[in-house]
Amino acid sequence: MFTFYDCEVFKHEWMMVFIDDHNNVTKIHNDAGALREHLASVHYLVGYNNYAYDDKIVASILKGINPYETSQKIIAGKKFKLSLQNPITLDVMQELKGLSLKEAQANLGLDIIETPVDFQIDRPLTNQEIEKTFEYCVNDVKVTKQLFEKREDYFASKFEIVKEFGLPATAIKKTRANIASQVLKATPGNDKDRLIFTYDKRIAKYELPEAVLHFYQDIEKAYKQGVDVQTLEKKKMTYRLAGIEHQYGFGGLHAAKENYKGEGNYMSIDVSSYYPSLIINNGFLKNVNPFKQIYEKRRELKDKGDSKEEIYKLLLNSTYGSMKSKWNKLYHPQMANNIVVNGQLILTHLICLLDGHCELIQTNTDGLIIKYEKGFEKNILKLLELFQEHYHLSFDVHVISKIAQRDVNNYVVQFQDGSIKAKGRFANYNGGNFERNSLNIIDKALVDYYIKGIKPNKTVIDVWKAKKFEFFQMVAKAGKFDGMAQERKDTNLFGGMDTVGFEPLQKVNRIFAAKDKYKGAVYKVRNEKETKYNKVPYTSENCLVWNGDLKKLDKRLIDLNWYIKQIEGWLF
């Protein structure tokens, strides 16, 4: 059903590799007829970043256009109309926020050494160069297939939505947000009245702090007086509520006791489907009825334990995020702002009501973490019951036994049943994934220390002995810079170390802290009038760059003390 592919384009030739579901490999070199014949039997063609590049190359070949000229236009960022209509294509990179294939390979611990064949060669390639290019191309297609399998849930959900709502087959190419707009039959909004707020009629304004109300009222007033929208939407206000500094603004409501840790009676209180509930309760959507039907259907399926409820959940959760995207038909920034403002005011009301019954530990947009004295839980649960009846909301409540919280974005909690929830620098304590896999030894050591009582140096040594090198790696890419380079060092007359030069590196590199003092730091390089070097953040002054297979890395080359110091810097 799925055929995976990648293409390489040079000035005098092009090459493509296809791998099907049964791992059969097909190689095509400068043969448009063979390409056309092969595509005739393909149902879905899957690539990586193919919507931006490979699909256009294929389309140009099929139309008799020079693929090298097309490639140069794409690289130069020129806009032109050229698309592949048949077969339907899927892009594994879709909604991965610019994650490159090499970066994903590095995160997976695979060999990421780049092809030595120069894409700027102004002559036909030799047989050896062609063979080497095919070798690297086959490897990229295999990785694309591997990533597709890791993202199976993402693509399966899109197929299920298309089937469930009878959408055209081509809708599968859209992002989930754009599919949601199609299901909801959305019509584009505009920027009119963007900061004119509508308030939930259930809000008891007299029970809210005046400063919080005035913050949004003053923004609306300034908007009516002509103050720039972008300026107003960047405004933030810090207000001390329930003993903690809370930050209000259009990015959400945030607060936390910093550098906090504790054991005892804690409660996580999350508003279930908060933003979707606010949309339905207040009509914060131009055509709210289809949205409400999807919401009710999701609840019905969830109550039955039907896994199809995830399809409906996805549609609901995609809606708010689309309301400030001008490229989505759900675009309606006024309603998005209404949702955020009302969400913060309602949560503020809950905090005010709970104050005195418990200790607030954290506030985070759609939920709270509180600490309470044993015996008070019944009173708190009764208050929550009344609150959710008043606002037509529902809560997910869980008991926490242990917490360690650096700040609102970095924390770990252990629930009463022993399960763990971690965010930020704590999140990848079990290891990373294809999207993010850098310095996860810090995550693991912090969770081991705060939840299990294991000292950081023991965690570091145990992981090192187990040869789980992916926990120690830092994956860095040049990004918007022109390239990367590593500093070379040598001893000077006084016994110190001096920089003696720089060696160029690939655009994506896997970096470790090294024992070897002759190996310097790694930099991102910008070539302007004079070359500028910017050290890669969170890396050692002495680096080992290892872009081969992680299984072949000699563990003796890694400087464990550097990692232990990084972990100690996170302790509180």
> What's the pLDDT tens digit per position in 315-361?
998 999 999 999 999 999 999 999 999 999 999 999 999 998 999 99
- Over residues 206-226, the pLDDT tens digits come to 999 999 999 999 999 999 999
Q: Cβ of 562: how many Cβ atoms within 10 Å? A: 18
3-state secondary structure of 228: coil
Reference 372, options 348, 399, 336; nearest CA is 399
Cross-sheet strand order for the sheet of 474-477: 474-477, 508-513, 543-545
Instruction: Report the distance separating Cα 17 and Cα 52, nearest Å.
Output: 18
Q: Please provide residue 539's backbone torsions phi and psi, each rounded to the nearest 5 degrees.
A: -125, 160
pLDDT digits (tens, 9 = 90+) for 249-265: 999 999 999 999 999 99
Residue 266 is classified by DSSP as E
Measured CA to CA, the distance from residue 216 to residue 335 in angstroms comes to: 15
Residue 147 has pLDDT above 90, yes or no: yes
- The residue whose two tokens read 């563990």 is 555
- Round to whole Å and give the CA distance between 459 and 448: 7
Give residue 453's region: left, alpha or beta (phi > 0; psi -120 to 50): left
With contact defined as beta carbons under 8 Å apart, do 508 and 543 qualify?
Answer: no
Mean pLDDT confidence for 37-41:
96
What does the alpha-carbon distance between residue 412 and residue 403 come to, in Å, rounded to a whole number?
6
Between CA 231 and CA 195 the distance in angstroms is 12
Examine the pLDDT at 493 and tell me if it is beyond 80. no
pLDDT at residue 112 in the model: 94
Length of the chain: 572
pTM comes to 0.91
For 459-501, give the secondary structure using H, E and C. HHHHHHHCCCHHHCCEEEECCCCCEEEEEEEEECCCCCEEEEE
pLDDT recorded at residue 130: 96
CATH number of 205-286+332-425: 3.90.1600.10
Residue 50 near residue 89 (C-beta atoms within 8 A): yes
Q: What is the pLDDT of residue 528?
A: 83
Nearest CA among 309, 232, 235, 229 for reference residue 272? 309
Neighbours of 546 (CB within 10 A): 20
For residue 341, the model assigns a pLDDT of 98
Expressed in angstroms, the distance from the first to the final Cα of the chain is 52
* Rounded CA separation 255/278 (Å): 22
2-150 folds as Nucleotidyltransferase; domain 5 (3.30.420)
Q: How far is CA 102 from the centre of its chain?
A: 17
Q: At 80, phi and psi to the nearest 5? A: -155, 155
pLDDT computed for residue 213 by the predictor: 97
Q: What percent of the chain has pLDDT over 90?
A: 89
pLDDT at 542 over 90: yes
Q: Name the percent of the chain lying above pLDDT 70.
A: 100
Domain spans, the chain: 2-150, 205-286+332-425, 474-545
- How many CB atoms are located within 10 Å of the residue 137 CB? 19
Helix (H, G, I), strand (E, B) or coil at 331: coil
